[in-house]
């Protein structure tokens, strides 16, 4: 029996991915740029067991039927690729709250991609790992790499060019990321369903796709020059545009709560006072606040903030 354990970290998009150009191959309609986080991690152990009659999956020690189906479909791809039929026992652990808008699907599928391919005897390059990870989750290829990462939308119908690559390693710009937890429940709508609703119904969806190339150029340049003010502008604009598309879907998707909005105001007020901070928000109520390392900025006192997790820029996925 081959057992392999891999570790991967969540990532947070500065330029957001929202929309699919091909839902079957899970090809993104837009490119995205992210930062991989340190400290928060998913560790996934995969054992290929010739005597097992089905795949088994546990998340944080408990069975997770919804995720198990998705994991099973992903393992089918790996088996297909490796030319084997062996079932797997997969156990995955997050050291942070699952499905609360902290991109556990990204770190989860990045860790699973690395562990399952290795256990199946495959030696894939970064591009091939990226293609496979994307079939699990659109943001997962970004967690294969550390530091600052770009995921391309690509053009080919096969998806061969819809891959992630590292722009800069973590040491390029040691930012601090504070995750303000404003609600700890699981999210209401899955991101795939939400994106597809936006694509079908938001009158702003076309404009969102159109602005993407300029956002990517701007973010790439801001990161290359370590220009926080510039990165703040494009990151907040990408985030608020994504949420404008979500809000203008029918029925409207409102991921924020009152505390989310209070944190946004707090961050903007601090930046107006000259503090180098900015925010971004994914398909959930948590707010991720970026700053230059060493900037002290407390969010715990904002009414409704349950917890603040402080991390840095982290490494890519690896076998443990
Ligand atoms: O990878 P998914 O399908 O969970 O989509 C992630 C979408 C956002 O988190 C909202 C944006 C992003 O680019 O991470």
At residue 257, the pLDDT reads: 96
Closest Cα to atom 6, ligand 1: which residue?
Answer: 139
CA distance 73 to 68: 9
Beta strands 287-292 and 175-181, pairing class? antiparallel
Ligand 1 atom at minimal distance to the Cα of residue 17: 13
Is the pLDDT reported for residue 149 higher than 90? yes
Cβ of 109 below 6 Å from ligand 1 = no
Ligand 1 center to residue 53 CA distance, Å?
Answer: 33
Q: How many CB atoms lie within 10 A of CB 69?
A: 12
Is the pLDDT reported for residue 101 higher than 70? no
Question: For 200-216, how does the pLDDT look when each residue is reduced to its tens digit (9 = 90+)?
Answer: 999 999 999 999 999 99
Residues 6+ apart with CB under 8 A from 250: 197, 201, 202
Question: For 150-174, how does the pLDDT look when each residue is reduced to its tens digit (9 = 90+)?
Answer: 999 999 999 999 999 999 999 999 9
Ligand 1 atom at minimal distance to the Cα of residue 12: 14
Confidence of residue 100 (pLDDT cuts 50, 70, 90): low
Distance in angstroms between the alpha carbons of the first and the last residue of the chain: 17
SS3 187: coil
Q: For residue 308, what is the enclosing H or E element?
A: strand 307-311
Cβ of 192 below 6 Å from ligand 1 = yes
Q: Is the model more confident about 189 or about 285?
A: 285
Cβ of 138 below 6 Å from ligand 1 = yes
Is the pLDDT reported for residue 217 higher than 90? yes
Ligand 1 center to residue 39 CA distance, Å?
Answer: 20
Question: For 256-293, how does the pLDDT look when each residue is reduced to its tens digit (9 = 90+)?
Answer: 999 999 999 999 999 999 999 999 999 999 999 999 99
**Sheet (strand 307-311) strand order:** 277-280, 287-292, 175-181, 307-311
Strands (E), 78-129: 87-94
**Planar angle of CA 132, 137, 143, nearest 5 degrees:** 80
Please give the structure tokens belonging to residue 285.
């109520």
Is the pLDDT reported for residue 99 higher than 60? no
Question: For 47-95, how does the pLDDT look when each residue is reduced to its tens digit (9 = 90+)?
Answer: 999 999 999 999 999 999 989 999 999 999 999 999 999 999 999 999 9
Share of the chain above pLDDT 90, in %: 92
Is the pLDDT reported for residue 187 higher than 70? no
Q: What is the best residue among 17, 21, 35, 109 to mutate for testing ligand 1's pocket, by most ligand atoms within 8 Å of CB?
A: 17
At residue 66, the pLDDT reads: 86
**26: DSSP letter:** T
Closest Cα to atom 14, ligand 1: which residue?
Answer: 13
Residue with tokens 């907040």: 236
| Stated pTM of the model | 0.96
Cβ of 105 below 6 Å from ligand 1 = yes
Cβ of 139 below 6 Å from ligand 1 = yes
As a whole number, the mean pLDDT across the chain is 95
Question: For 24-34, how does the pLDDT look when each residue is reduced to its tens digit (9 = 90+)?
Answer: 999 999 999 99
At residue 106, the pLDDT reads: 95
Q: How many CB atoms lie within 10 A of CB 156?
A: 9
């Amino acid at each position: 029996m081959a057992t392999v354990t891999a570790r991967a970290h969540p990532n947070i998009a500065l330029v957001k991915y929202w929309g699919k150009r091909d839902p079957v191959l899970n090809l993104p309609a837009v490119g995205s740029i992210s930062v991989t986080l340190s400290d928060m991690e998913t560790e996934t152990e995969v054992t290929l067991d010739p005597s097992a009659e089905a795949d088994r999956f546990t998340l944080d020690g408990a069975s997770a039927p919804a995720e198990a189906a998705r994991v099973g479909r992903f393992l089918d791809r790996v088996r297909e690729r490796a030319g084997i039929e062996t079932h797997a026992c997969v156990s995955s652990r997050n050291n942070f709250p699952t499905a609360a808008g902290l991109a556990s699907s990204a770190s989860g599928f990045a860790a699973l991609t690395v562990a399952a391919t290795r256990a199946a005897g495959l030696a894939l390059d970064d591009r091939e790992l990226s293609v496979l990870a994307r079939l699990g989750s659109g943001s997962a290829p970004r967690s294969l790499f550390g530091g600052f990462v770009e995921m391309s939308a690509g053009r080919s119908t096969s998806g061969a060019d819809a891959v992630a690559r590292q722009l800069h390693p973590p040491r390029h710009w040691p930012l601090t990321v504070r995750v303000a937890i404003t609600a700890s429940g699981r999210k209401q709508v899955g991101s795939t369903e939400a994106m597809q609703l936006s694509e079908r119904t938001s009158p702003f969806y076309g404009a969102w796709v159109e602005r993407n190339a300029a956002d990517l150029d701007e973010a790439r340049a801001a990161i290359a020059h370590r220009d926080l003010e510039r990165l703040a502008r494009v990151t907040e604009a990408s985030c608020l545009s994504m949420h404008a598309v979500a809000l203008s879907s029918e029925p409207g998707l409102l991921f924020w709560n009152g505390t989310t909005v209070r944190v946004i105001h707090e961050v903007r007020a601090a930046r107006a006072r000259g503090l180098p901070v900015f925010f971004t928000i994914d398909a959930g109520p948590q707010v991720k606040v970026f700053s230059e390392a060493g900037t002290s900025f407390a969010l715990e006192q904002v009414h409704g903030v349950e917890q603040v997790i402080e991390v840095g820029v982290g490494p890519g996925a690896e076998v443990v």
